[in-house]
Structure 1
Amino acid sequence: MKSLPVFLALTGRAVILTGKGEAADAKRRLLERAGARIVGEGDEAAIAIVADGDDATVARLKARGVLVNATDRPDLCDFTLPAIIDRDPVLIAIGTGGASAGLAKALRQRIEALLPQKLGSLATALYDARAAIRARWPDASARRRAIDAGLAAGGVIDPMRDDAADRVPLWLAEKGDAAASRFIHISLLSGEPDDLTLRAARLLGEADRIYHAPEVPPAILDRARADAARIRAAAPPADPGEGLSLWLELPR
């Protein structure tokens, strides 16, 4: 990963936009959707979009400490603009680091066709239910496991359901607590991330902690959740802990 994806809150904030034509118009519409206050090169702002390919403009702005996006010039960009799937308040961004806007667009179109239009309503319903969720599961670990179970494929509030938002009260009223703790052994096919099975990739995205043999490479561990604990060990632990724990090893 060569850049860190972030979502900037731009409502009411100044953003420099230079250039004219179709590219500049497209960037203007995007900034307006985000609530930005569009200003010119001479104004004060922390970020800028240079839509006319003017190297001199880019140089002047960077000399002022402004972070710059130069349209179709990834070598000059401090940040790039992704293809966006908008299910407000859910945003899904697809970037290629400026390598191919066409590829990002193609991926966006395919992913967008899979997602329910009401996905944003589920996010809003979960936000509104925060107090009830905390009351239902006071322990943070149990709460996260319950949310994971509810949102899992086939779960009560599976995001792929059109009526998921309406089912949040049903999920809260369910009897029983979060999913039971599990410890799963995974024998990797190789040290290449492309060789991960769909099951292994899914479990890596869900696990609370990952125990792994010393020879498991970072490229595999990077596929896990960012907040999952990584624990190097010579053998699987006797007591892996609560939640979902994995043991990863390469074939002998």
Structure 2
Amino acid sequence: MIESLPLFHRIAGKPVVVLGTGEAAEAKRRLVERAGGLVIADLQDGIARGARLAFIAHDDDAAAEADTLRAREAGLLVNATDRPALCDFTVPSILDRSPVLVAIGTGGASAGLAKQVRLRLEQILPQSLGALAAALGQARAALRARFPDAGERRRALDAALGPGGALDVTLEAAGEASAGRVEAWLSAARVESGGTVEIALRSDDPEDLTLREARLLGSAGVIGFEDGVAPQILDRARADARRLCLARDEELPRGEGLAIILRAPPAMG
């Protein structure tokens, strides 16, 4: 189970309330402006102009609580700096490879930890990742024409974007070369047949999955699982994958791309 639902909120050209003075308030103003939002420094003015988000960065606890209450009563979602109990949403640490954005959050537990995770990812994901995303967006129609079936299209992309693939997301390339990479891949792309892979789990801990097993779970369109497979394991599968509870040796539907059978771990004791 996740404690909050990550969402990307478009605020370009829209009013966003930012209250407070000092470094924390200025940081929130910069964040709103970076996303194209219109910073409103007065709560009542923001409410009148239809704002839906409020950042409250008062140093005084009483002022923060009072403005949080007023904003909520008007229907705004609130982020109160350094006061997780007052927050409807938290602000993640952002890795920017526009249009690719990676948001790292800790539910308000530690902004420093989120920053360090972002800095590690900065070393892994190249600057050209955004150009690759843009090229894939421009090739959407060609991709659909090349792979009309959604399952085949997904498997082809998984193979191309994965480790060692033609479009491996960790490979650095000049921005202008990304369109050429996508075009060259599309001209020769083939999709592997789906098939069924069986995974015998060793425990209920998803950290015990091998890298290959985790990758397969994230790619499969159908997940068959025995009684006794932990929910946290199933959470590692794609959200839109079909999930079927199976009796032992029962077969999965054929013709639906890659399918995974998860065997329950041995009973302990």
Q: TM-score, normalised by structure 2?
A: 0.89
Q: Work out the CA distance in 2 between the residues paired with 1:32 and 1:239.
A: 50
- Distance apart, 1:222 and its partner CA: 0.8
- Distance apart, 1:236 and its partner CA: 4.1
Residues 36 and 201 from structure 1, CA distance in 2 versus in 1: closer, same or farther, beyond 3 angstroms?
same
Q: Work out the CA distance in 2 between the residues paired with 1:236 and 1:17.
A: 59
Q: Work out the CA distance in 1 between the residues paired with 2:207 and 2:144.
A: 38
Pairing partner for 1:50 from 24, 49, 56 = 56
Pairing partner for 1:144 from 150, 154, 162 = 154
Q: Work out the CA distance in 2 between the residues paired with 1:236 and 1:34.
A: 52
Matches within 5 A, 1:96-245: 96-163=106-173, 165=178, 166-174=180-188, 177-241=190-254, 242-245=256-259
Q: Work out the CA distance in 1 between the residues paired with 2:265 and 2:205.
A: 12
**Mean alpha-carbon deviation: is it higher for 155-164 or for 61-70?**
155-164
User: Which amino acid in 2 is paired with 1:185?
Assistant: E
Q: Work out the CA distance in 2 between the residues paired with 1:144 and 1:103.
A: 33
- Distance apart, 1:106 and its partner CA: 0.7
- Is contact 1:187-1:250 (8 Å) kept? yes
* Deviation digits for residues 46-99 of structure 1 (CA, Å, limit 9, x no counterpart): 110001151111111112121100001111100000000000100000001101
User: Which amino acid in 1 is paired with 2:160?
Assistant: G
Query: What residue is the counterpart of 2:76 in the other structure?
Result: 66
Q: Work out the CA distance in 2 between the residues paired with 1:193 and 1:143.
A: 27
Q: Work out the CA distance in 1 between the residues paired with 2:109 and 2:183.
A: 44
- Distance apart, 1:240 and its partner CA: 3.9
Q: What is the aligned residue count?
A: 251
Secondary structure class of the residue paired with 2:44: coil
Residues 10 and 145 from structure 1, CA distance in 2 versus in 1: closer, same or farther, beyond 3 angstroms?
same
User: Which amino acid in 1 is paired with 2:185?
Assistant: W
Q: What CA RMSD, in Å, does the superposition of the two structures yield over aligned residues? A: 1.4
Secondary structure class of the residue paired with 2:116: helix
Q: What 5-or-longer segments of structure 1 have no aligned partner?
A: none
Query: What residue is the counterpart of 2:43 in the other structure?
Result: 41
Q: Work out the CA distance in 2 between the residues paired with 1:236 and 1:143.
A: 29
Q: Work out the CA distance in 2 between the residues paired with 1:193 and 1:96.
A: 19
Q: TM-score, normalised by structure 1?
A: 0.95
Q: Work out the CA distance in 2 between the residues paired with 1:238 and 1:118.
A: 43
Q: Work out the CA distance in 2 between the residues paired with 1:167 and 1:61.
A: 48
Q: Work out the CA distance in 2 between the residues paired with 1:93 and 1:102.
A: 14
Q: Work out the CA distance in 2 between the residues paired with 1:249 and 1:137.
A: 32
**Identity percentage over the alignment?**
53
- Distance apart, 1:237 and its partner CA: 3.9
- Is contact 2:79-2:90 (8 Å) kept? yes
Secondary structure class of the residue paired with 2:261: strand
- Distance apart, 1:182 and its partner CA: 2.5
Q: Work out the CA distance in 2 between the residues paired with 1:179 and 1:98.
A: 43
Q: Work out the CA distance in 2 between the residues paired with 1:222 and 1:239.
A: 19
User: Which amino acid in 2 is paired with 1:137?
Assistant: F
Q: Work out the CA distance in 2 between the residues paired with 1:237 and 1:25.
A: 59
- Distance apart, 1:198 and its partner CA: 2.2
Query: What residue is the counterpart of 2:103 in the other structure?
Result: 93
Q: Work out the CA distance in 2 between the residues paired with 1:199 and 1:161.
A: 20
Q: Work out the CA distance in 2 between the residues paired with 1:81 and 1:41.
A: 20
